């Protein structure tokens, strides 16, 4: 079962679901191979409290991961294992001195990756403070100073590196899922969202799509230039975002064609909203006084036998009907008058199959 993204952790952000689970399974095996032998060893040599803390940490860590993997939900949270880990590290340095300080570095780096950033900063800060106090009573002051400076440098480098990696990943994710000019979702993301909406329909939640085309956009480019055309596209997307609901999704299908996904809305309500949005676009003062209007085809997903392709086809038929009837209007699929076969023939011609 994939590891659920319960916390805003670097592991949750850096890896996909399958990789996330693999990383945490490896981490569990590493801690089993490390903390269990160390706990048993400390019990044998008479350091009973430290041994119990190490084994209790491992037990709580396994319980939490097992709950996430098997039940899909957290049972005890990560802060209890985190406290036990902090206590075991500080106690180890206090008891064993310099031999135990080597374990501080991998613990600090691991925490940066597996718990939320703020918690990692706080925990690593307390680890540094606790280990400094413990080392001060075990080591010479100059050795303690070198150790503390090295740990601080390690923590800073780890936090900065992970922060920069996450920033870069956010940029790459944006570039791979968004249209670079408008910021709208690109066509590659559309099918997954349509499938999700169709699944919701089976649970009784309606969803509607609106396929949107800017009327006579080629003329805008020819008359006013591509810079004005780009501005028209960007401002149209801004209006689509501003006058739809926060959780409605705007996709750029290509060129001057867009799609707006209304989750939880019926065809009639989406028609009303798109009519209002079209009015906003029509009344917008674009550069060079360019006149801009929209033709829109609206289609609601069906309960039985619907697929993303069929759903899009119905919206395309409604859009084609809007264009055929003079443009600058919103047509719902249930009232469209164009036969699907006619639209299929038009698509074939546009794609050059008969040329």
**Residue whose structure tokens are 């400094």:** 132
Angle in degrees, 0-180, between the axes of helices 226-242 and 267-283, rounded to the nearest 10: 140
| 185-350 to CATH, choices 3.90.1640.30, 3.30.70.270, 3.90.660.10, 3.40.190.290 | 3.30.70.270
What confidence tens digit (pLDDT) does each residue in 2-36 have? 434 444 556 555 555 666 677 778 888 999 999 99
Question: Which residue ranges make up each domain of the chain?
Answer: 10-177, 185-350
What confidence tens digit (pLDDT) does each residue in 158-206 have? 999 989 988 888 888 888 899 989 999 999 999 999 999 998 888 888 9
What confidence tens digit (pLDDT) does each residue in 86-128 have? 999 999 999 999 999 999 999 999 998 888 888 899 999 999 9
- pLDDT exceeds cutoff 70 at 348: no
User: Do the Cβ atoms of 75 and 63 come closer than 8 Å?
Assistant: yes
Q: Is 184 helix (H, G, I), strand (E, B) or coil?
A: coil
Q: What percent of the chain has pLDDT over 90?
A: 63
**Residue whose structure tokens are 């106690």:** 91
The Cα 336–Cα 279 span in angstroms is 21
Exposed, middle or buried, 338 (CB in 10 Å: 0-12/13-18/19+)? buried
User: Do the Cβ atoms of 152 and 159 come closer than 8 Å?
Assistant: no
The Cα 309–Cα 300 span in angstroms is 13
Phi, psi of 164, deg, nearest 5: -70, -40
Helix (H) or strand (E) segment spanning residue 102: none
Exposed, middle or buried, 274 (CB in 10 Å: 0-12/13-18/19+)? buried
- Rg for the chain, CA atoms, rounded: 30
Q: Which of 62-66, 195-199, 349-353 has the highest mean pLDDT?
A: 195-199
Average pLDDT over residues 152-163: 94
Q: Is the pTM of this model over 0.95?
A: no
What confidence tens digit (pLDDT) does each residue in 242-290 have? 999 999 999 999 999 999 999 999 999 999 999 999 999 999 988 888 8
Give the other-Cβ count within 10 Å of 50's Cβ.
Answer: 23
């Amino acid at each position: 079962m994939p590891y659920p993204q319960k916390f805003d952790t670097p592991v949750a952000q850096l890896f996909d679901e399958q990789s996330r689970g693999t990383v945490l399974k490896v981490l569990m095996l590493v801690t089993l191979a490390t903390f269990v032998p160390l706990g048993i060893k400390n019990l044998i040599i008479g350091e009973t409290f430290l041994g119990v803390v190490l084994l209790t940490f491992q037990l709580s860590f396994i319980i939490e991961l097992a709950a996430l993997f098997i039940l899909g939900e957290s049972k005890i949270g990560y802060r209890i294992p985190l406290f036990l880990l902090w206590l075991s590290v500080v106690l180890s340095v206090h008891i064993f001195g310099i031999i135990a300080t080597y374990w501080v570095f991998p613990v600090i780096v691991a925490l940066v990756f597996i718990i939320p950033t703020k918690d990692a900063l706080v925990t690593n800060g307390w680890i540094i403070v606790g280990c400094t106090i413990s080392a001060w009573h075990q080591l010479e002051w100059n050795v303690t100073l070198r150790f503390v400076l090295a740990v601080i440098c390690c923590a800073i480098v780890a936090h900065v590196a992970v922060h920069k990696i996450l920033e870069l990943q956010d940029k790459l994710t944006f570039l791979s899922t968004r249209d670079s000019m408008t910021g709208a979702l690109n066509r590659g993301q559309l099918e997954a969202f349509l499938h999700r909406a169709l699944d919701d329909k089976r649970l009784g939640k309606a969803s509607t799509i609106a396929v949107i085309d800017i009327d006579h956009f080629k003329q805008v480019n020819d008359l006013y230039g591509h810079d004005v055309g780009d501005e028209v596209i960007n401002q149209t997307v801004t209006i689509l975002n501003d006058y739809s609901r926060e959780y409605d999704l705007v996709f750029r299908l290509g060129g001057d064609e867009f799609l707006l996904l209304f989750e939880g809305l019926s065809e009639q309500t989406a028609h009303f909203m798109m009519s209002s949005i079209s009015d906003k676009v029509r009344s917008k003062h674009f550069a060079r006084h360019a006149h801009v209007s929209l033709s829109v085809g609206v289609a609601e997903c069906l309960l039985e036998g619907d697929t993303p392709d069929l759903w899009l086809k119905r919206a395309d038929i409604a859009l084609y009907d809007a264009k055929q009837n003079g443009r600058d209007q919103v047509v719902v699929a249930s009232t469209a008058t164009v036969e699907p076969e006619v639209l299929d023939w038009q698509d074939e011609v546009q794609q050059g199959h008969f040329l």
